[in-house]
């Protein structure tokens, strides 16, 4: 068996079984997060012990996220175009010491939407943390809490 230093991801086969396991885990994480938001107002929720650091770094690297409309609605093409990929890669690498920081997860494009096929993209966990921490601090997820009206 080859050592991990010899593994070349770009030459590896995509095994459907492994991809399904990642997809199942991402969906479970999204369901867990949604369930939390139904029980606790997002503005009162702490996602990690690094929330303050993640939020501070997000605003430093992406000053546009100081504006509530930018936090509310994410544009996939802005995240995934060459410039967006570069900026997010640099941001993400600052958190490589956080467990599973680059694990795939689901991210809602708009804070007013639930998770569904049309309003959700695949992102890495640190991107999810950064955006959802910002949304929670702006009280954009509080509507999910039982008893609140959708904005």
Taking only the tens place, the pLDDT of each residue in 45-75 is 999 999 999 999 999 999 999 999 999 999 9
Nearest CA to 58 among 97, 96, 91? 91
Dump pLDDT digits (tens) for 123-136.
Answer: 999 999 999 999 99
What average pLDDT does the structure give for the chain?
Answer: 88
Domains and CATH numbers, the chain: 49-146 (1.10.3560.10)
For the whole model, what pTM was predicted?
A: 0.84
Evaluate if residue 149 carries a pLDDT over 90.
Answer: no
């Amino acid at each position: 068996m080859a050592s991990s230093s010899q593994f070349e991801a770009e030459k590896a086969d995509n095994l459907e079984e492994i991809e399904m396991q990642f997809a199942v885990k991402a969906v479970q994480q999204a369901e867990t997060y949604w369930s939390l938001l139904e029980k606790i107002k997002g503005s009162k929720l702490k996602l990690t012990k690094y929330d303050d650091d993640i939020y501070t770094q997000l605003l430093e690297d992406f000053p546009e996220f100081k504006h509530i409309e930018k936090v509310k609605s994410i544009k996939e093409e802005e995240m995934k175009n060459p410039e967006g990929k570069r900026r997010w890669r640099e941001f993400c690498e600052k958190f490589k010491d956080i467990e599973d920081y680059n694990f795939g997860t689901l991210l809602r494009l708009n804070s007013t939407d639930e998770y569904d096929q049309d309003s959700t993209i695949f992102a890495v966990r640190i991107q999810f943390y950064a955006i959802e921490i910002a949304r929670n601090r702006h009280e954009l997820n509080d509507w999910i809490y039982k008893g609140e009206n959708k904005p």
